[in-house]
Amino acid sequence: MADTHPDRITVTGITAHAHHGVYDWEREKGQTFSVDVVLELDTRAAAADDDLERTVNYAELAQGLHGILTGEPVDLLETLAQRMADACLANALVEAVEITVHKPDAELGVPFADVTVAIRRERV
């Protein structure tokens, strides 16, 4: 019987000051963003051989996502999340990814704790 529950690698709270948003002041001043990522992949081969090359190096993953987060500004969190999902799926080992982008300093005009956009993408 096949295992229906994929293995997961999770990194939460990748944080940076970045300049995303639709308003000029967001682009100029910037604000804090953070990202959570959950990768789905089969880690059995890596575990059997104790081999980092047969899994996803989560330090490299975090550095790559941080680079996207601090890179070219975009208007929408949806666009940012999609770019990050695409980067994760570029690794052939990754079967699916969930990205959550947090924008806790967004301007909503009312008190709030956080704004997030979460997407899930699977290898086609």
Q: Which of 103, 107, 116, 119 is catalytic?
A: 103
Report pLDDT for 3.
60
Residue given tokens 């959550």 in the structure block: 100
Residues in CB range of 13: below 8 A, 6 or more apart: 34, 35, 36
Cα 64 from chain centre: 10
The CATH number of the domain holding residue 88 is 3.30.1130.10
Biggest CA pair distance of the chain? 55
Domain contains 2: no
Token digits of residue 71: 């890179």
Domain contains 28: yes
Domain contains 51: yes
Q: 3-51, pLDDT tens digit by residue?
A: 678 999 999 999 999 999 999 999 999 999 999 999 999 999 999 999 9
Domain contains 24: yes
Domain contains 27: yes
Domain contains 40: yes
Report pLDDT for 2.
55
pTM attached to this predicted model? 0.93
Rounded-to-integer distance, Cα 68 and Cα 96, Å: 19
Rounded-to-integer distance, Cα 91 and Cα 112, Å: 36
The total number of structural domains in the chain stands at: 1
Q: Is 103 a catalytic residue?
A: yes
Q: How confident is the model at residue 124 (pLDDT cuts 50, 70, 90)?
A: confident
Q: Using the predicted structure, report yes or no on whether residue 1 has a pLDDT greater than 50.
A: no
Find the helix or strand (DSSP H, E) in which 25 lies: helix 24-29
Q: 39-83, pLDDT tens digit by residue?
A: 999 999 999 999 999 999 999 999 999 999 999 999 999 999 999
Domain contains 99: yes
Domain contains 1: no
Which structural domain range is residue 106 located in?
7-122
Rounded-to-integer distance, Cα 21 and Cα 27, Å: 6
